[in-house]
Amino acid sequence: MTVAFITGANSGIGRSAAVDLAARGWTVYGSMRSLDKGERLAAMAAEAGVEVHPVVCDVTDTESVNRAVADVTAASGGIDVLVNNAGIGANGVLEESPVERYAEAMDVNLYGVVRCVQAVLPQMRQRGAGCIINISSVAGVVAAIAQSPYVASKWAVEGLSEGLAQEVAPFGIRVAIIEPGIVKTAILAKNVDAPNDSGAYDRAYQRMFQFYAAGLADPGDPSEVADVIYEAATTNRPRLRWTCGWGGPELAGNRRSVSDEEWVALATIEDDAEYLRRFGKLFSIPSVIPEA
């Protein structure tokens, strides 16, 4: 029986993955900062006829993480798959984002991963098996405009995961990075900040929100990410990076062919319609291109 520990399981991708993996016969432990946040998870699990074991875990608190992992290990005998899903959004251009904003994003999105991996890895290493899945973002591949703190945290997750994959491969442990594009989750509804005291960055925020508006017209579903998590954990042809969701495969796949000079030049286009047209063409996302 595969045992999975999923952080941030009270909403969005984590909740969908918890129910989906339980439906596939896995024993699933879904963590959240407070059990009061787990009502919707419990309802979805009941509707699907499965059980997801709720666990209190605050990924910003090392003691909380260690306690949760110890409790799950004692109850299940060991964790086979760790899904580091807990995360927060963080809009802002660099000039007007305080260091504290970066620290908050890093504490959840990066240090939370570090804490959970450090807690789980010894038992995986001892068994010579296991899978660590880190939920990054397409913003960890393409530096989304006006989301500097979030982008910094997700690029850090990418680098950490890439290095981790080599560190643990000799022990029979695989690492997978999931890079969703736009997926319909609660994080998008909360992600409306636009710190712009100077007023100099109106265009940057406008273009960022335009992009998300285009994606939200037909967003990916959290269940799609859940399917990718399962495939990444069970495939006999493992790979490091997986993309999904609206715009995910296009952005991640085409960034390699877009030169740095082309990327920077995008920002110098003054006309919004032309900017979107050029963006859509470079990254092969037709729905971003304004209609004539």
State how far the alpha carbon of 215 is from the alpha carbons of 126, 206, 212, 221, in Å.
43, 14, 5, 12
Q: Burial of 146 by CB count in 10 Å (0-12 exposed, 13-18 middle, 19+ buried)?
A: buried
Q: Which residues pair with 5 in a beta bridge?
A: 29, 82
> Which residue out of 29, 102, 111, 150 is catalytically annotated?
150
Check if 150 is active-site.
yes
- Residue 213: inside a domain, yes or no? no
- Residue 239: inside a domain, yes or no? yes
- Residue 209: inside a domain, yes or no? no
- Residue 111: inside a domain, yes or no? yes
Distance from C-alpha of 31 to C-alpha of 17, rounded to nearest angstrom: 12
Per residue in 213-249, pLDDT (tens digit) is: 878 778 889 999 999 999 999 999 999 999 999 999 9
The residue among 248 and 290 whose pLDDT is bigger is 248
pTM: 0.94
Distance from C-alpha of 278 to C-alpha of 269, rounded to nearest angstrom: 9
- Residue 40: inside a domain, yes or no? yes
What total number of domains does the chain contain?
1
- The pLDDT confidence band at residue 191, using thresholds 50, 70 and 90, is low
Per residue in 35-92, pLDDT (tens digit) is: 999 999 999 999 999 999 999 999 999 999 999 999 999 999 999 999 999 999 999 9
Query: Could you say which DSSP state residue 283 is in?
Result: H
Q: Would you say residue 141 has pLDDT above 60?
A: yes
- Residue 286: inside a domain, yes or no? no
Taking a C-beta distance cutoff of 8 angstroms, is the pair 204, 146 a contact?
yes
- Residue 52: inside a domain, yes or no? yes
Range of the domain at 62: 3-197+220-248
Q: What pLDDT, on a 0 to 100 scale, did the predictor assign at position 254? A: 93
- Residue 35: inside a domain, yes or no? yes
Least confident interval from 44-48, 105-109, 259-263, 282-286: 282-286
| CATH number of the domain bearing residue 137 | 3.40.50.720
Name the nearest CA neighbour of 44 among 69, 75, 13: 13
Average pLDDT for the chain: 93
The two structure tokens encoding residue 233: 């954990």
Q: Would you say residue 196 has pLDDT above 70?
A: no
DSSP-derived 3-state class of residue 29:
strand
Distance from C-alpha of 166 to C-alpha of 275, rounded to nearest angstrom: 39
